[in-house]
Amino acid sequence: MGIRRVVFLLVALLSVASATAFKAEVKTSSVGVVTISSEESLWSLNATHATLGECEVITIEMSAPEATTPPKFRVEFRTPQLDAHHLWHSGFVDRVKLQPDWRRGYTSALAEDIPLYSFINTSNRNRLTVATSEAVRRVNAVMGLREEGALLQSTLTFFVEAEAPISHYKTTILIDKRDIFWADAVRGAMSWIEANNTFKMCRVPKEAFEPLYSTWYQFHQQITDKEIEAECREAVKLGMRTIIVDDGWQTADNNRGYAYCGDWRVAPTRIADMAAHVKRVQDIGMKYMLWYSVPFVGRYSDAYKQFEGKFLYMRNRDVGVLDPRFPEVREYICATYERALREWNLDGFKLDFIDSFKIRGKDPAIAEGYAGRDIKSVSEAVNVLMLDVTERLQAIKPGVLIEFRQNYIGPAIRQYGNILRARDCPGDMQDNRIRIANLRLTSGQTAVHADMLEWNSGEKPEVAARHILSALYGVVQYSVMLRDIPKEHLQMVKHWIEFSKEHCATLLHNTFRPYNPEALYPVLEAESDKERIITLYQEEVVAKAGKPDREVYIINATGSEMPVVELEKTPRKVEYYDTYGKRVAGGKITAGVQRVDIPVSGYIKLIY
């Protein structure tokens, strides 16, 4: 045997010994052996197993003699792929995909998605849902198919990025193989994550569920007080009660960058007197929310000089990302929002880009010995910052509205805000529908909002309405120029706002059932004690009216005039409505599967 071969074998043996220095195995009844392992041998490990109803929980505790950088460690197991064909996760949009385990996996952190993954079949049944209670630090996940033996591979990797020294760590893993409706498994796992973290969720006022108007898509940064007020006068006629004034109020620059963020002073060419402007909008009948990019400080701001050397990294050459581990950074951010709330009497804030609080490459604090920083962990500092922001704003105005958007949607984020919005997907009704449905499963009582709706003013009203219908199971944010769209569009919008308000309890506060995520949710359903609302989004898919025990609304968002409907019983009465809410003539409907002449972007009401 050659020298090279001997050296290679010795290195391999040393690697194996190192890789197994920190290892434990736990036996479960649902997925067999769960292995916890690390390359670090200085830490001691204790792993235990318990049942939670029909689910199983693995608890992992590790400790070191003194505070030190925690080791990267993995939790993994495999189970046969039996009637499990798709993987749902909170960030999916285009496809619920079961990918091989050698491809890139998924990630979650305090301000990025959720450590929750669900293998499902094509009949809306749960086959394996896995979650971890670690909702603050980054966790990487590989959830996919292992080719050797057709096995579902589950691997969670902890401490994958720079972390401040600690001496003790504990986390838990939930394993749920119950044969139940897949969305119930996801909701249950989310509740379990919240309970394990003892999070106190932010108060959600009823105003968080009111349809609102956003300036972003129709104005972008080119806003003025007069334009905003003119649009508010139109919006309030349609039933909107809140406006979000987005990026642009703080700068005269129109390049859609963030080089002028940081000082948060009103650009006088945009808004001459902010307090007077806010009052005028409120007198019209609208609440006023204002946008801020929380961590960004632009090169052309005074704050850039003030906080130079206190950035986590440069986002680009013109924008720094503040390091929240400095107490003066946190105080500056909190005081900025407090001052705006007091001086301008705002009703709420759109707080953007908190997912940018992270370390890229090496942590600058290490070389500086954490000088000036009173918190060593970035995640912990963000948590402290955002809790302080919420507490201080609510002390001034208890019902203050605070919006965050995907991908910062996890259970920790719900401590800080009462509105979670779908990520930007301009003009994409399908993307919006998927994002809203995903958020509804993981957001508890927090208000889920659609991404702002826009459509071309030359569109047919029935087609424009499909944007609204795709957002109907969330709070709709409108971002079309109301003074420019046709009268028929305004009539259509007004009706659907009235419909959403009349049925708000059912649509937003009761049982929500999203079907077939692998087919991008062709049917969504909400149900209360008095009614069931079903919306059909795809042709040739059957809308099942369900038990004839309450009024049923079937909404036609397919674009087709003859969707397929299944009834268990012939209704006593059927009412047909077009997209303007006007009652129209329609044919008789009987029990069974049939095509029904439901107006495009209209609906029927079944009365038993």
* Single-letter amino acid code for the residue at 179: D
Model confidence band, residue 2 (pLDDT cutoffs 50, 70, 90): very low
Each residue's pLDDT tens digit, 278-320: 999 999 999 999 999 999 999 999 999 999 999 999 999 999 9
How far, in whole angstroms, is CA 346 from its chain's centroid? 24
| Local structure of 519: helix, strand or coil | helix
Q: What is the pLDDT of residue 93?
A: 85
- From 538, 595, 588, select the one nearest 566 (Cα to Cα): 595
Q: Counting beta carbons within 10 angstroms of the beta carbon of residue 346, is it exposed (0 to 12), middle (13 to 18) or buried (19 or more)?
A: buried
**Token pair of 220, please?**
């972008």
Predicted confidence (pLDDT) at residue 4 exceeds the cutoff of 70: no
Instruction: Answer yes or no: are the C-beta atoms of 118 and 131 closer than 8 Å.
Output: no
Domain ranges of the chain: 20-197, 206-421, 511-607
- From 274, 292, 270, select the one nearest 282 (Cα to Cα): 274
Q: Which helix or strand (DSSP H or E) is residue 196 part of?
A: helix 182-197
Mean pLDDT for the chain overall: 94
Predicted confidence (pLDDT) at residue 27 exceeds the cutoff of 80: yes
Asked which of 54-58, 92-96, 584-588 is least confident by mean pLDDT, the reply is: 92-96
Report the 10 Å Cβ neighbour count for 318: 17
- From 357, 378, 365, 263, select the one nearest 309 (Cα to Cα): 365
User: CA–CA separation, 406 vs 355, rounded Å?
Assistant: 9
What is the pTM for the complete model shown?
A: 0.94
Instruction: Answer yes or no: are the C-beta atoms of 135 and 192 closer than 8 Å.
Output: no
How far, in whole angstroms, is CA 140 from its chain's centroid? 18
Distances (CA, A) of 497 to 222, 417, 535: 27, 24, 16
Q: What is the pLDDT of residue 19?
A: 41
User: CA–CA separation, 126 vs 54, rounded Å?
Assistant: 13
Each residue's pLDDT tens digit, 152-189: 999 999 999 878 899 999 999 999 999 999 999 999 99
Q: What is the pLDDT of residue 191?
A: 96
Average pLDDT for residues 386-408, to the nearest whole number? 97
User: CA–CA separation, 425 vs 589, rounded Å?
Assistant: 37
User: CA–CA separation, 418 vs 544, rounded Å?
Assistant: 33
More confident residue, 393 or 92: 393
Residue matched to tokens 């579902």: 152
| Local structure of 502: helix, strand or coil | helix
Model confidence band, residue 95 (pLDDT cutoffs 50, 70, 90): confident
Average pLDDT for residues 470-498, to the nearest whole number? 98
Strands 564-567 and 542-544, bridge-based pairing: parallel
What percent of the chain stands above pLDDT 90?
Answer: 90
**Token pair of 236, please?**
């309030």
User: CA–CA separation, 512 vs 306, rounded Å?
Assistant: 48
Fold of 206-421: TIM Barrel (3.20.20)
Q: What is the pLDDT of residue 14?
A: 37
Predicted confidence (pLDDT) at residue 593 exceeds the cutoff of 60: yes
Average pLDDT for residues 47-64, to the nearest whole number? 96
User: CA–CA separation, 404 vs 408, rounded Å?
Assistant: 7
Predicted confidence (pLDDT) at residue 8 exceeds the cutoff of 80: no
Distances (CA, A) of 431 to 91, 95, 368, 427, 588: 11, 11, 44, 9, 35
User: CA–CA separation, 122 vs 70, rounded Å?
Assistant: 40
Model confidence band, residue 269 (pLDDT cutoffs 50, 70, 90): very high
User: CA–CA separation, 241 vs 231, rounded Å?
Assistant: 12
Instruction: Answer yes or no: are the C-beta atoms of 170 and 59 closer than 8 Å.
Output: yes
Predicted confidence (pLDDT) at residue 12 exceeds the cutoff of 80: no
Each residue's pLDDT tens digit, 356-378: 999 998 899 999 999 999 999 99
Q: Counting beta carbons within 10 angstroms of the beta carbon of residue 572, is it exposed (0 to 12), middle (13 to 18) or buried (19 or more)?
A: exposed
User: CA–CA separation, 274 vs 259, rounded Å?
Assistant: 22
Instruction: Answer yes or no: are the C-beta atoms of 410 and 110 closer than 8 Å.
Output: yes
- From 521, 512, 467, select the one nearest 493 (Cα to Cα): 467
Average pLDDT for residues 50-66, to the nearest whole number? 96
**Token pair of 266, please?**
């009103």
How many alpha carbons fall within 13 Å on the CB side of residue 374? 8
Torsion of Cα atoms, 124 then 130 then 133 then 137, to 10°: -110
Query: Strand order in 287-293's β-sheet?
Result: 447-449, 419-421, 401-405, 348-352, 287-293, 242-245, 212-214, 477-478
Q: Which helix or strand (DSSP H or E) is residue 421 part of?
A: strand 419-421
Predicted confidence (pLDDT) at residue 148 exceeds the cutoff of 50: yes
3-state secondary structure 147-178: CCCCEEEEEEEECCCCCCCEEEEEEEEEEECC
* Single-letter amino acid code for the residue at 221: Q
User: CA–CA separation, 230 vs 284, rounded Å?
Assistant: 10
